[in-house]
Structure 1
Amino acid sequence: MIHFNYPHYPLQWYRNANPVSGNAGQFNYKVLRQGGELAAWCWMGVWCMEKTKDVKERRFAFPDKQEQEQQESVDQAIAWLREEFDAHSRAEIEARDGFFTTGPYTPPAPEPPQE
């Protein structure tokens, strides 16, 4: 059985805007500081975030120089990811045929500017 085990990183990791990413079976996630926010994404499947159509995103305040609030933001992001993981069936998470049953998503090309 696959479990969701988010790795432990010190707050300095997030302050420096280093990404945290990983997976638990078909469940994938990424967490990254962007300015005054901590962004968290998750998606199902075998493809990277850029090649997946249905990516969920949630943002949490990450205030400068407020260590307690920063740690709370990290804890909230992890809790949200854990909820998202638990929302999927074990069969979905443990599926092994993703490369054979899906293709990478290609977003539509942007429309040319109208004059």
Structure 2
Amino acid sequence: MANKLGITQGKEWAIKAVECEIGIAKKIEVEDVKVAMVATDIGVTPDEEVEANAVLVADAFEIANKCQKLPSELLKERDALLEKLKDMTKYIRRELTLIHEAPEKEIKLILDGSEELIQSVEE
């Protein structure tokens, strides 16, 4: 059954190792329905990398189902929110230099937290 994005919806995502003609593969299923296959030629890509790629695909499906947005849409939203947070932080810091009566300790905690968040998102 598809959701509003047109992708398979479900709650029970599973990654299963399967052998196929080209080598090792990871089958991604949701409630016993095969959704995707991540594969590699034997000896070309380590099994751990194939597993990591399958986890990424399954996670993208799961997040898209939860948010009803594609990962690219979430990235655009994140970038827009980050820019707003940067602008707000600059504005508050600039205003604080003009107003000396502001409760410095509380405002400093907010600004430091905002700047830490910005830095962690940009890394």
* TM-score of the pair, normalised by structure 2: 0.35
Q: Which has the higher contact order (CA 8 A, sep 6+)?
A: 1
Identify the structure with the greater helix proportion.
2
* TM-score of the pair, normalised by structure 1: 0.37
